[in-house]
């Protein structure tokens, strides 16, 4: 109180004792439990009064420790799930790889040749098919002697296909749609118009050894008997340098000298250039040709009695000195390590696929896989199914599939190729079996590769000598690769929808485009396109199909059949494919793991979809494929390990809907 108030005798001041006040409201011990229960909005004094009672204090402590215990259990459970969970599949394992040959995919500017903007216009097609990975064949600046595989400038886009801005726009839009771009990379050689070659042939000290040069006779430029992939000597005389340079392909494609560290550095810089642009991976072209023996000795003839002057094709020699030389895998592993630097960003793994066809020496192809200790390729391309047309039968198909599966290193991921820009389309070479082949590709374990147009069953075109564009066919039309490179058939409109402004396309459109095109097949639920799309979506959604066991079940002269199943999951799939010339009835009654009655989930003969069949009498027409889904607690792989394969074993726990290592 103020001094004036205290000194005023007319005002009486009463002293308030807080301790007495508190004591006056404190209840007696006998009255405590007769009070009202705690209530909302109670003052702090009342709350403290009740909270100190045993019945409330114990409850609080029980709840606290229960919360702690639950938290620890959840943490332990999370750690356990993470530790036991199998590795997640990467983007390149989740869908087929779709190959675009850019000259033939979509023309946006009316010049009759496909381009990058044309690809951009058709990105909806990949989302419609549920395709995630797109490999685009070369679009670097090039004189086009080998349609882009002769590169004049690795850091520029050929004007025929667009500009660097067009490329960046395409890549950005692809990433917005969660699509991945795989670039074709050609390390073995350049164009003879490349700046490096011009400096090398003129004797520039830095570039002098960028290519493989040797002394030779100008009148007979053959330092040895080595031959080109395209035929005749792989040596050409250069009038400027007065020496011969080596080329395993066209004379306009001189081989780089990878024993020169400056060349290795140049190629490494190019890899970084495109990775910094944001590309998601590379298809390394013709890698087995990168090194050649330094001694330059003659290669051994396949037929020792053949006169040396008649050695003109690659098939005349054993290529012990010109392919798969020491140092090749070290170089590829260096490139893999550089790519991995860019893979550290979550969700941005950089993919590496190797292109090397080693024919009967499949063990050489398998060396391109990574090992547990050293990373190299994610997989080498499997070209053995390209031999399907040689003998369409169940035995032959199984042989080609097993050739890869039985030689592949344990735990690796397979892949399958049935067509590309160098080989005849399956729609022509094995026309009756296109649907069955697509079913096989999308139900086998691993990653399938789809060459543009295979999803609609496109066929080769017929060309005359005056229509030949491919240098390989200039002197022999039968060797031309043009027939499988015809424009993509989008619609039944002008130029099959490939080019809406041009009267002339770079190659003729196939005359069947009125009925074989994307637009028409989208409207038909039994079309090749509809079945391809359904199979691809099913593959992604069904665990047994994209990461389950693969087991051979039955093979005969006509039928190739296998199972896809996953431990812990009752749902499994039986695939029956007829590669014979006539209808067949397959008896699988000896397979105890199959139920007696089966239901056809999908048939390539649309009328047979949904039918019920007995496992002792599974009928298929010639060229028909059946996808049968069934439920069973019995697992085929447990009793037939020698017939089964899995990349990474996993089991399904239905109670928690998770996969775990087992």
- For residues 281 and 275, give the distance between their C-alpha atoms in angstroms, rounded to a whole number: 8
Return the DSSP state at 154.
E
Q: How far is CA 451 from CA 96, 328, 416, 530, 601, in A?
A: 10, 28, 11, 17, 26
Which of 214, 211, 205, 321 lies closest to 266, judged by CA? 211
Catalytic residue among 192, 238, 255, 285: 285
Are the beta carbons of 559 and 579 closer than 8 angstroms? yes
Answer for the pair 489, 497: CB distance below 8 angstroms, yes or no. yes
285 is catalytic: yes
- CA 478 → CA 65, 311, 418, distances in Å? 82, 20, 20
Instruction: Mark whether 124 is an active-site residue.
Output: no
Q: Would you call 659 helix, strand, or coil by DSSP? A: strand
Question: For the chain, what is the largest distance between any 2 Cα atoms, rounded to a whole number of angstroms?
Answer: 143
- Residues with Cβ within 8 Å of 413's Cβ and at least 6 positions away in sequence, in order, are 93, 378, 379, 446, 447, 647
Residues composing the chain: 662
Catalytic residue among 192, 355, 470, 624: 355
Quick one: angle between helices 328-341 and 261-277, nearest 10?
30
Q: Give the 3-state secondary structure of 77-130.
A: HHHHHHHHCCCCCCHHHHCCEEEECHHHHCCCCCCCCCCHHHHHHCHHHHHHHC
Angle at 471 between CA 477 and CA 501, to 5 degrees: 90
Taking 3-state DSSP, the helix, strand and coil percentages for the chain, each rounded to the nearest 5, stand at 35, 20, 45
Q: Distance between alpha carbon 422 and the CA centroid of its chain, in Å?
A: 19
Contact 355, 283 (CB under 8 A): yes
- The residues annotated with a catalytic role in the active site are 285, 355
């Amino acid at each position: 109180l103020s001094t004036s108030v205290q000194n005023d005798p007319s005002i009486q001041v009463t002293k308030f004792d807080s301790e007495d006040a508190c004591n006056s409201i404190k209840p007696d011990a006998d009255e405590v439990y007769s009070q009202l229960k705690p209530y909302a909005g109670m003052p702090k004094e009342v709350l403290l009064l009740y909270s100190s009672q045993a019945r409330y204090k114990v409850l609080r402590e029980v709840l606290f420790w229960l919360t702690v215990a639950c938290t620890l259990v959840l943490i332990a459970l999370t750690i356990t799930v993470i530790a036991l969970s199998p590795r997640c599949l990467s983007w390149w394992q989740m869908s087929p790889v779709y190959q675009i040959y850019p000259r033939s995919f979509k023309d946006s500017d009316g010049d009759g040749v496909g381009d990058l903007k044309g690809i951009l216009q058709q990105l909806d097609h990949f989302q419609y098919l549920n395709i995630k990975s797109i490999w685009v064949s070369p679009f670097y600046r090039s004189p086009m002697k080998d349609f882009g595989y002769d590169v004049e400038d690795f850091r520029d886009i050929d004007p025929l296909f667009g500009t660097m801005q067009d490329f960046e726009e395409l890549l950005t839009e692809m990433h917005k749609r969660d699509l991945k771009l795989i670039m074709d990379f050609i390390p073995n050689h350049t164009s003879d118009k490349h700046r490096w070659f011009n400096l090398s042939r003129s004797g520039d000290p830095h570039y002098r050894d960028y290519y493989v040069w040797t002394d030779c006779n100008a009148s007979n430029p053959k330092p040895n008997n080595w031959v080109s992939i395209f035929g005749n000597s792989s040596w050409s005389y250069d009038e400027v340098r007065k020496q011969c340079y080596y080329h395993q392909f066209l004379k306009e494609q001189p081989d780089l000298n990878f024993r020169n560290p400056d060349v290795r550095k140049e190629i490494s810089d190019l890899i970084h250039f495109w990775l910094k642009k944001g590309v998601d991976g590379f298809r390394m072209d013709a890698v087995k040709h990168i090194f050649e023996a330094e001694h330059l000795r003659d290669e051994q003839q396949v037929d020792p009695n053949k006169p040396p002057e008649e050695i003109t094709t690659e098939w005349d020699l054993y290529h012990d000195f010109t392919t798969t030389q020491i140092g090749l895998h070290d170089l590829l592993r260096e490139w893999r390590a550089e790519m991995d630097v860019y893979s550290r960003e979550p969700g941005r793994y950089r993919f590496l696929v190797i292109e090397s066809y080693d024919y009967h020496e499949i063990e050489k192809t398998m060396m391109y896989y990574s090992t547990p200790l050293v990373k190299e390729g994610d997989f080498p391309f499997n070209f053995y199914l390209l031999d399907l047309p040689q003998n369409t039968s169940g035995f032959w198909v199984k042989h080609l599939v097993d050739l890869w599966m039985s030689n592949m290193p344990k735990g690796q991921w397979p892949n399958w190729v049935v067509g590309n820009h160098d080989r005849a389309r399956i729609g022509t070479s094995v026309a009756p079996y296109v649907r069955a082949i697509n079913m096989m590709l999308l139900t086998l374990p691993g990653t399938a590769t789809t060459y543009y147009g295979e999803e609609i069953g496109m066929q080769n075109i017929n060309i005359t000598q005056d229509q030949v564009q491919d240098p390989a066919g200039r002197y022999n039309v039968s060797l031309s690769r043009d027939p499988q490179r015809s424009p993509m058939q989008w619609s039944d409109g002008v130029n099959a929808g490939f080019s809406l402004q041009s009267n002339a396309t770079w190659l003729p459109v196939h005359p069947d485009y009125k009925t074989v095109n994307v637009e028409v097949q989208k409207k038909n639920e039994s079309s090749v396109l509809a079945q391809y799309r359904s199979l691809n979506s099913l593959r992604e959604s069904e665990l047994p199909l994209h990461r389950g066991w693969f087991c051979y079940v039955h093979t005969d002269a006509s039928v190739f059949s296998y199972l896809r199943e996953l431990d812990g999951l009752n749902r499994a799939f039986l695939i029956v494919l007829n590669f014979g010339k006539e209808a067949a009835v397959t008896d699988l009654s000896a397979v105890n793991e199959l139920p007696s009655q089966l239901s056809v989930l999908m048939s390539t003969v649309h009328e047979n979809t949904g039918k019920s069949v007995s496992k002792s009498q599974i009928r298929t027409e010639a060229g028909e494929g059946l996808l049968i889904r069934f439920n069973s607690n019995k697992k085929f792989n447990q009793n037939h390990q020698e017939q089964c394969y899995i990349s990474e074993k996993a089991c399904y726990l239905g109670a928690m809907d998770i996969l775990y290592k087992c």
